[in-house]
Amino acid sequence: MLDPRARALIDKMIELGIPASHTLPPLELRRFYRERGALTQPEKPAVGEVRDLTAPGPAGPMALRLYRPAGAAAHAAALPLLVYIHGGGWTIGDLETHDVPCRQLANGAGCAVLAVDYRLGPEHRFPAAVEDTLAAIRWARANAEALGIDAARIAAGGDSAGGNLAAVAAIAERDAGKPLAFQLLIYPATDMRAVAESHRTNAQGYLLTADSIRYYRGHYIPDEAQWSDWRASPLLAKDLTGLPPALVITAGFDPLRDEGRQYADALSAAGNACEYVCFERQVHGFFAMTKAIPEGDMAVALACAALRRALG
- Which residues are the active-site residues? 160, 254, 284
In order, the DSSP letters of 164-210 are HHHHHHHHHHHHTT---SEEEEES----TT--STHHHHTSSSSSS-H
Residues 120 and 273: their CA atoms lie apart, in Å, by: 31
Helix (H) or strand (E) segment spanning residue 64: strand 60-68
Burial of 167 (0-12, 13-18, 19+ CB in 10 A): buried
Distances (CA, A) of 101 to 44, 74, 173, 272: 9, 22, 25, 27
Distances (CA, A) of 19 to 15, 23, 100, 283: 11, 7, 24, 18
Amino acid, single-letter form, for residue 301: A
Longest Cα–Cα distance of the chain, Å, equals 51
